[in-house]
Structure 1
């Protein structure tokens, strides 16, 4: 898990994992956990002497939440306001094109399939030609495109959660060794 070095107002330096932020504001001093909701772990002191204990408690809670909760997803959940169609996120179309070897145009949906740690893969879902196009074929192709996208999102979420838990395991081991 990524960490960063933070020097607090008292001059103490800490190595802080992702998802934990330092809060130093007037009478509030502590570490805020931001994973599956927020929680403040107070230093319970004005001089910062309790910062190490508060960070340890926040880190312990972070590791606990990572073990129980799915990883936060960075996938877009709603279509952009600029999208001209009412199709779900990751699905475009219908795309009409005419291949060089054909006399009739065909129609398909373009589906973006996200992959954790990699660039998305594009997939085309065939609807029909201008001679065979029907509303039923359109709806069936759209249902298939939505199903492909949902399966890819689920796989992405599983991979993201697995990766986050491996990072947490490595952090836990690093904390034990230090």
Structure 2
């Protein structure tokens, strides 16, 4: 997890983890947790004397959220504006391919399978050849492509959540030492 050092106007120093922001305006002084929603922990003072207690509360809230909630992921949930088909994100096609040697043309759907911490993988789901292509076979291939994409998204979210929770435990150790 990333950290930054922050010095308040009072001179007090903090090692602030990613997911916590300092809010200092004319009307508000406190720490805001930004992880699957926001919550402000006020200093309840204009001179910054309550900053340490508010920071500790914000850190505990961040840890609670990391332990209880899935990690926020940036996978695309809706098709791009320029996409001309009605297929969901991560699925393209039908793509026509010609087999070498035989010249037989087949149709496939291309599915992008995201992997956390690694490059995405692409796979193809066969629809049929010129002789066997039908709307029913296309719908079956689309259902299979949707299953593959959904499973990859679940695995991506699980891996991201596990990584975030490991980072949260490391954060706890770093903040204890600071």
TM over 0.5: yes
For residues 89 and 144 of structure 2, the distance between their equivalents in structure 1, rounded to whole angstroms, comes to: 14
Partner of 1:135: 135
Q: State the secondary structure of the residue aligned to 2:66.
A: helix
Deviation at 1:82, TM superposition (A): 1.1
Structure 1: which 5+ residue stretches go unaligned?
Answer: none
Partner of 1:144: 144
Structure 2: which 5+ residue stretches go unaligned?
Answer: none
Alignment of 1:108 with 2:108, yes or no, is yes
Partner of 1:73: 73
Kindly report which structure 2 residues correspond to 1:47-86, keeping only aligned pairs within 5 A, or say none.
47-86=47-86
Q: TM-score, normalised by structure 2?
A: 0.95
Kindly report which structure 2 residues correspond to 1:86-125, keeping only aligned pairs within 5 A, or say none.
86-125=86-125
Deviation at 1:174, TM superposition (A): 2.3
For residues 32 and 161 of structure 2, the distance between their equivalents in structure 1, rounded to whole angstroms, comes to: 21
> Aligned-pair RMSD on alpha carbons?
1.2
For residues 148 and 49 of structure 1, the distance between their equivalents in structure 2, rounded to whole angstroms, comes to: 53
Q: State the secondary structure of the residue aligned to 2:61.
A: helix
Q: TM-score, normalised by structure 1?
A: 0.95
Q: Is the 8 A contact 2:4 2:17 kept in 1?
A: yes
The change in CA–CA distance for 1:72 and 1:147 in structure 2 (over 3 A counts) is same
Q: Is the 8 A contact 2:15 2:175 kept in 1?
A: no
Deviation at 1:73, TM superposition (A): 1.3
